[in-house]
A and B are shown apart, each in its own frame.
Chain A
Amino acid sequence: METYYNPEDLVKFPSVGGGAPELWKKFNDWYGAVFAAGALTEREKALIALAVAHAVQCPYCIDAYTQSCLEKGSNENQMTEAVHVAAAIKGGAALVHGVQMKNAAQKVGL
C-alpha cells in the first residue's frame, strides 16, 4: 500500500541540503546547539520537542523524539503528559479564538 510517509525516508533527510549546502550546514549547527544542555537539560528539551512534534504533527519527529526521550531517561508517563501539554495548547488556541467569534457575533447582532 502506498502512503505519503515512509519511515525509511528519515535517513534521507540530509539530501534536503542538496543545492543549498551552506544553509544546511547553518541549520545543523544551530539545531545541534538548540538541543545541547543549557538552562534546560537535554531531557527537558527532548520532552519539549516531543510535545511540539505532536502539535505540528510531524511523524518523523514523533518517532525520533520518542526514542530520544526514552534514551534520556524519560518514561511514558512523562511523555504522555508532554503530549497533553501540546494538546492543551492546540485546543486552548482554538478555544480562545472563540473570543473573536463572540466579538464578531456581537458586532452584527442586535
Chain B
Amino acid sequence: MRSPDFDASLKEAGRFPPEGAQPLAADGISTLQINLGRLCNLSCKHCHVEAGPARTELMPEAVMDGVLALLEGQGRRTVADLTGGAPEMHPRYRWFIRRCAMGGAAVKTRTNLVILTEKGFEDLPEFFAENRVEVIASLPYYSEEVTDRLRGSGVFKGSVNALKRLNNRGYGVQGSGLALNLVYNPCGAFLPPRQKEIEADFRRELLRTHGITFTNLFTITNMPAGRFLTFLERSGNLNRYMERLRAAFNPSAVQNVMCRQMLSIGPDGSLYDCDFNQMLGLKCGHGAPDNIRDFDIEKLKHRRIVTGPHCFGCTAGSGSSCTGAVAGQDLKPPRSAGLYRSRNRAYTSDMLKKETPFIKDEECPVCKNREEDCVCCPECGHLCVLNEGELYCPVCGPKKPRSETAAP
C-alpha cells in the first residue's frame, strides 16, 4: 500500500537517492527565487499565493540589500528568479533588476502579462531587453474563454496585447537571444498534459490566431495551496485530487524537483525550499537556517528538504517545477490514469499545511480489511485479485500478500 507520507513514498520507491536510503535533500543552490511581495493587479482563481490588489506585503529594501549581497557572494550566473504577486509592482523592482544584473546574476522575471499593459509599466519590455531579463509569462490556455474563467474578464486580451509587445521587442523571436517562456496551468483539478504536446498546441494556435511566437512552454501542476486549495475544498475535489497526485507519483521526477537546486526567499527574508512551502508556511528546517540574515551556504546547499503531501504535486506524472516538467517526456504516468480511480482518503487542508503524518489506517478504505489482511497492491495501491494465497495486481502483476512483505 503506497504511503500517504511523501518521504515514505520515496523510500518505498527505492529510487532516490541512492536506493531510497535517504530523504529528499538539496544538491547545491543555483537559483534564488525571490518573492518580492503579494501585491498583484489580478486575483486569479488558482493562485497559490492568494495575491491581489489588497495585499500589502512587499519586500523591504533592507532585505533586498541582503539578497543582493547573497547573489554577489554566490558568484556569477546564479539565477535570480523574481516572483510575487506581480513582482513588477514592487516600487524598487527596476532598481533591483539592474543591481542583480550588475552583480552578474542571470535574471528571470515572472509576469502575469496584463501588468505590462497598464499605465506606468508599458515600457517594461524595453527595460527587460536592455537588461537581458528572461521573461516567464503565465498564460493558462490559448483560448479567451478558459483563460478569463481562471484569471478574470479581459485577461486574455490583455495577455495577447502584452505578448505582441514582447514579440515586437524581440522576445520569443528566434535568433534574438531574448527568451519568452510561457507557463501553462491546468484550469481545474487535473494533471497537465505532456509538455511537448501542449506546447505544440500553443505554438500552432497563438501563431495562427494572433501571430505570436514564444521560446518554450512550461507545464506547472496546480498545488494544493492558497486559492487552489480553497477551490478544492469548496468543490469537494480535495480528496480526489490528492489521490490523483499520489497515484501518479513518478520516482523518476524526484531527482529533478526544483527544491534540490533552488532556495526560495520570502518578502520578509525567510528562507524556504520552494515557493509552495513558502505559501504553506513551511520554512527551511532540519537544522538549516530559515532567514537570510543567518544564511550559511554550507548548511543550506545539501539541506534536507521539508516535505509534505503537497510534494506529490511536483512528482506526479512528468513532474512539475518552475521550469516545467522534470521527468522524461516519454515516461507515461502510472496506469491509474483513465479507467481506474484511486482510492479516497480523508485529506484535510490542515494535513496539507502541517508536516504531520496521516492518521494510521486501521481499516483499508478500499478492501475494508485490517492492514495485515489488506488485499491492495503494496506498490501501487490498487485493489488486487486474491487467488490461492497470491495477489494479482491489474497494474503491476503478481504480488506477494502484504502480510508477507510488511516490515517487522
Contacts and interface: CB of A to CB of B under 8 A. Distances in A.
Taking each of A11, A28, A68, A72, which has the highest tally of chain B beta carbons within 10 Å of its own beta carbon?
Answer: A11
Contact of A13 (B146, B194, B339, B344): B339
Contacts of A25: 392, 394
Interface residues of chain B: helix, strand, loop or mixed (majority)? loop
Interface in B349-403: 366, 382-387, 392-394
Interface string A1-43: 0000001101111110110010011001001100100000101
Interface in A32-80: 32, 35, 41, 43, 46, 60-61, 63-65, 67-68, 70-73, 75, 77
B340 A21 contact: no
Given A72-B193, A75-B146, A32 B335 contact: yes
A68 B337 contact: yes
Contacts of B393: 14
Interface residues of A, number: 33
B143 A15 contact: no
B191 interface: yes
Contact of A71 (B141, B337, B384): B337
A15 B190 contact: no
A52 to B, nearest CB: 12
Interface of B: 141, 143, 146, 186, 188, 190-194, 197-198, 201, 244, 317, 335, 337-344, 366, 382-387, 392-394
A18 B385 contact: yes
30 contacts: A7-B341, A10-B339, A11-B342, A11-B343, A11-B382, A12-B366, A13-B340, A13-B383, A13-B394, A14-B393, A15-B385, A18-B387, A21-B385, A25-B392, A25-B394, A28-B394, A32-B335, A35-B338, A41-B197, A43-B193, A43-B197, A63-B341, A64-B338, A64-B341, A67-B244, A71-B191, A72-B197, A73-B193, A73-B201, A75-B141
A24 B383 contact: no
Contacts of A8: 344
A77 B337 CA distance: 21
A12 B191 CA distance: 23
A28 to B, nearest CB: 5
Contacts of B382: 11, 14
A24 B344 contact: no
A73 B198 contact: yes
B385 A65 contact: no
A14 B394 contact: yes
Given A21-B392, A32-B335, A73 B194 contact: yes
